[in-house]
Amino acid sequence: MIGGLFIYNHKGEVLISRVYRDDIGRNAVDAFRVNVIHARQQVRSPVTNIARTSFFHVKRSNIWLAAVTKQNVNAAMVFEFLYKMCDVMTAYFGKISEENIKNNFVLIYELLDEILDFGYPQNSETGALKTFITQQGIKGQHQTKEEQSQITSQVTGQIGWRREGIKYRRNELFLDVLESVNLLMSPQGQVLSAHVSGRVVMKSYLSGMPECKFGMNDKIVIDKQGKGGASDDAGKSDLGGGSGKQSIAIDDCTFHQCVRLSKFDSERSISFIPPDGEYELMRYRTTKDIILPFRVIPLVREVGRTKLEVKVVIKSNFKPSLLAQKIEVRIPTPLNTSGVQVICMKGKAKYKASENAIVWKIKRMAGMKESQISAEIELLPTNDKKKWARPPISMNFEVPFAPSGLKVRYLKVFESKLNYSDHDVIKWVRYIGRSGIYETRC
C-alpha cells in the first residue's frame, strides 16, 4: 500500500511529508526531487522507479503531489487517491497553491491521517469529512452521544457521501450535460473517427435524504419500454433539450459511487441518494449517430512553388434558432510562409507567425449558416525536398445542445420523511456541447 505522501512546491521544497510505513526511508523525499522535479530531461512517465522505490506523481498548477511505495500496489488506486486528495483539499481551502498549503498544513496532516490509514485509503468524501475534521479538536465540542455515533455510522456506513439533517428552504437542483465532441474527417468529407465523451454534472440543494431517479433517452431503456407497450408517464415530465432524436445508443457509462450499480446492471435504471452540492453523476461515451455541429470544407491549391491558395468554408449544422459561440478555426500554414493575405466574410482572421497558423475567430453563428475564408499564402523558396505535411484544420466551438443527442427525460426526487414532493423541487437543465479534437484534413 501507499508508504508515504509528499507535497512539493515548484522548486522542489517539501511542504508536506507524511510517511506511513517504515520501508520508506528519509532519503526518499530527496530522491524524488533530484530524479523527477529537478531532472535534466523532463520526466514524462507519471510512475518512476528510483532504487526500488516507486513514486507516483500528479501536478496541480505548480504543486507536486507524490505518493511513494515499495510494494506492488494498485497503481490505478494510487492515482485515484491523489486526485481525491486534491478534491478534498480544494473543498476545504480552495485552490491548491503553495500559500494555501502552508496556511493549512495542520489541517492537511489531520486529513491525511483520516483518509489514509497505514497507507489504506479510507472514507474520503468531503461531505462526511467535514462533520468531524474541523480543526477545532474533538474534545472541545460538546457533542451528544447520539451525534457522535451518527458521525461514525455515517463515515463507515453505506451512504458515506451525505450527512443527515440537511435542510434547505428552497429545494433546487441543477443538471449540466457537458459534452465534448471529437472528430477526424477526410478532405472529401468522410468521417474517419468521431466520438462524444460526455458528463452529467449535478448540483443538488435538497433537504433530508432524498432518493433520486435519473432518466435519459438511452436506447436500451426506450426499446424495453416500447416493447412493454405501457404508456410512459415519465416521458411527460420531459425537461426539454436539443434537436430531435428519439433515443441514443450509449457505448459505455460510468457512475459516481452514489449510484446503485447492481440496479443499473439489472434494470438499467439510475437511482441514487445524491451528495450535497456539486458532483459528477455520470460519464458516458457514444460513437453512433453523432450530430456534427460544424462541417469544414477545405480547398488548398498550390500555385507554383512559392504560393498557396487556401479556401475554407464552414457550415453550421443545427437548428437555426440556436447560436454557436466562441468559434475558432485554425488553418495551419507551411513553415516557410513569408506573408499571408486573408479575406473573410464574418469574424476576424489573423495570421499568427509564431503558431504557424491562420486563426479565424467568429463570436456567434446561428444554425444552418455558412461562412467562408480565403487566404493567399506566399512562401519563401526552399530547397527542402520534403513536401509540406499539411496538418489538419482544427476547430473550437461551443453549442447549446448535446451533440450525442442525449436528452434528460426526468429526474425524480422522493423524500418520504420530509413533506416535499417531486413537484416542489425546482429543476434546471442545461446542455453544453464543446469541441474536443475536431479536425478536418486538407
Partner 1 sequence: MTDSKYFTTTKKGLTSYYMLIDKMNVSLTQDCEDPNPLIRALAVRTMGCIRVDKITEYLCEPLRKCLKDEDPYVRKTAAVCVAKLHDINAQLVEDQGFLDTLKDLISDSNPMVVANAVAALSEIAESHPNSNLLDLNPQTINKLLTALNECTEWGQIFILDCLANYTPRDDRESQSICERVTPRLSHANSAVVLSAVKVLMKFMEMLPKDLDYYGTLLKKLAPPLVTLLSAEPELQYVALRNINLIVQRSCNIKVFIVLAELKEYATEVDVDFVRKAVRAIGRCAIKVEQSAERCVSTLLDLIQTKVNYVVQEAIVVIKDIFRKYPNKYESVIATLCENLDSLDEPEARAAMIWIVGEYAERIDNADELLESFLEGFHDESTQVQLQLLTAIVKLFLKKPTETQELVQQVLSLATQDSDNPDLRDRGYIYWRLLSTDPVAAKEVVLAEKPLISEETDLIEPTLLEELICHIGTLASVYHKPPSAFVEGSRGVQHKRLPGSAGSGESVESPDTGSAAGASDAPPAVIPSQGDLLGDLLNLDLTPPATTGPPPPATSGLQLGAMDLLGGGLDSLVCSSRSLAERTGQVLKHSLVCLLALMSLGLNDGTFLSFLAFFFFKFVLLSFFGLAPAGPLQVLTPLSPNQSIEVALPLSTVGPVMKMDPLNNLQVTPTLHGR
Question: Which residues sit in the known binding site?
Answer: 348, 350, 352, 361, 363
By the rule CB under 8 A, 135 interacts with partner 1: no
By the rule CB under 8 A, 421 interacts with partner 1: no
By the rule CB under 8 A, 209 interacts with partner 1: no
* Binder among 151, 292, 313, 323 for partner 1 (CB under 8 A): 151
Least CB distance to partner 1 at residue 171 (A) = 25
* Binder among 97, 143, 225, 372 for partner 1 (CB under 8 A): 143
Task: Select 245 or 256, whichever has its Cβ closest to partner 1.
Answer: 256
Residue with cell 437543465: 429
Site string for partner 1, 259-288 (x = CB under 8 A): -xxx-xx--------------x-xx-x---
Distance between CA 48 and CA 45 in Å, rounded? 7
By the rule CB under 8 A, 106 interacts with partner 1: no
Contacts of 318 (CB under 8 A, 6+ apart): 242, 243, 291, 293, 324, 367, 368, 399, 401
Contacts of 383 (CB under 8 A, 6+ apart): none
Task: Select 194 or 344, whichever has its Cβ closest to partner 1.
Answer: 194
By the rule CB under 8 A, 390 interacts with partner 1: yes
- The kind and range of the H/E element at 315 are strand 307-316
By the rule CB under 8 A, 8 interacts with partner 1: no
Return the amino acid letter for 110: E
Least CB distance to partner 1 at residue 193 (A) = 6
Least CB distance to partner 1 at residue 47 (A) = 5
Task: Select 81 or 431, whichever has its Cβ closest to partner 1.
Answer: 81
- State whether the Cα torsion 353-356-360-361 is positive or negative: negative
Q: Which of residues 152-191 bind partner 1 (CB under 8 A)?
A: 152-153, 155-158, 160, 184, 186
Contacts of 396 (CB under 8 A, 6+ apart): 326, 327, 328, 330, 434, 435, 438
Q: Which 8-state DSSP code applies to residue 104?
A: T
Least CB distance to partner 1 at residue 280 (A) = 7
Task: Select 395 or 442, whichever has its Cβ closest to partner 1.
Answer: 442
Angle between helices 75-93 and 105-115 (to 10 degrees): 140
Least CB distance to partner 1 at residue 71 (A) = 6
Distance between CA 336 and CA 356 in Å, rounded? 9
By the rule CB under 8 A, 214 interacts with partner 1: no
* Binder among 113, 223, 267, 289 for partner 1 (CB under 8 A): 113
DSSP string, 15-26: EEEEE-STTS-T
Nearest CA-CA partner of 68 in 133, 100, 116, 11: 116
Cell of 340: 499571408
Q: How far, in whole angstroms, is CA 405 from its chain's centroid?
A: 19
Least CB distance to partner 1 at residue 239 (A) = 23
Q: With CB under 8 A as the contact rule, which of the stretches 44-52, 93-101, 221-229, 357-365 interacts with partner 1?
A: 44-52
* Binder among 81, 294, 318, 397 for partner 1 (CB under 8 A): 81
Task: Select 57 or 330, whichever has its Cβ closest to partner 1.
Answer: 57
Dihedral of CA atoms 121, 126, 128, 130 in degrees, nearest 10, equals 120
Q: Which 8-state DSSP code applies to residue 353?
A: G
175, 411 contact by CB (below 8 A) = yes
Task: Select 230 or 389, whichever has its Cβ closest to partner 1.
Answer: 389
By the rule CB under 8 A, 146 interacts with partner 1: no
By the rule CB under 8 A, 34 interacts with partner 1: no
394, 330 contact by CB (below 8 A) = yes
Please give the size of the binding site for partner 1, defined by CB under 8 A: 78
* Total residues belonging to the chain: 442
By the rule CB under 8 A, 398 interacts with partner 1: no
